[in-house]
Amino acid sequence: MNDSLQLARLLQLASPALPVGAYTYSQGLEWAVESGVIRDEATAGRWIADLLDHGIGQFEAPLVFALMAAWTAGDRAEVECLNGEFLASRESAELRAETAQMGFSLRRLLRDLRDDSLAGVATGIEAFPEVAFPVAWSGIAAAWRIPPEAAVTAYLWSWAENQVMAALKAVPLGQAAGQRLLADLGSRIPTAAVNAQNRPKSAWSNFTPGFAIACARHETQYSRLFRS
């Protein structure tokens, strides 16, 4: 696979058009708006950047690196172990349902793409009772031979873009504010990806109690646009 095709495949994986329903989730951001923690562009940027630096960047990003290594090595036992660890790490019922639903949708897409290069990924997760979204996503990235650092950078960008889109709807914010937020987050993502690649498993951490509380309280929020 040449570089241009790898880039095209990576853009496909990171696209909002990927049919997994990511746009329906805010991951607690909607409750943060309801409670007044997020109320404008500055507070939205602080919330998302903190999650990037202290949450997804320190746990989910290194997990994707480890998953890609396991998929590339054909280590199905490690893939299964990491799948279980990620599911167990979800702090609320909504967060667990989110990753399981998105993983289910991506597992179905593996069949619908009719790409022989993805057969090993489809077989590898076929028997999982639940497959977490990053597990299926990293399997596709590995099968398409996308360089891990580029894959994790795109994974983080896709997450950040979805968070900003949620903020645009929930705060609400204007399109220019959204682009300023994405520009700032985009400048942080390369460092987050490099740090994640060098982070040993013993140092993985998703200790973000404010985020966990927001996700749990969203489950009983009266009026809401998002599923998490």
Distances (CA, A) of 220 to 34, 88, 214: 12, 22, 11
pLDDT tens digit sequence for 58-107 = 999 999 999 999 999 999 999 999 999 999 999 999 999 999 999 999 99
pLDDT tens digit sequence for 151-207 = 999 999 999 999 999 999 999 999 999 999 999 999 999 999 999 999 999 999 999
Please give the single-letter amino acid code of residue 171.
Answer: V
CB 101 within 8 A of CB 136: no
Angle, nearest 10°, between helix axes 93-112 and 133-143?
30
- Put simply, whether the predicted model's pTM sits higher than 0.95 gets the answer yes
Superfamily designation of domain 26-218:
Urease accessory protein UreF (1.10.4190.10)
Please give the single-letter amino acid code of residue 113.
Answer: L
Q: Is the peptide bond before 172 cis (omega within 30 degrees of 0)?
A: yes
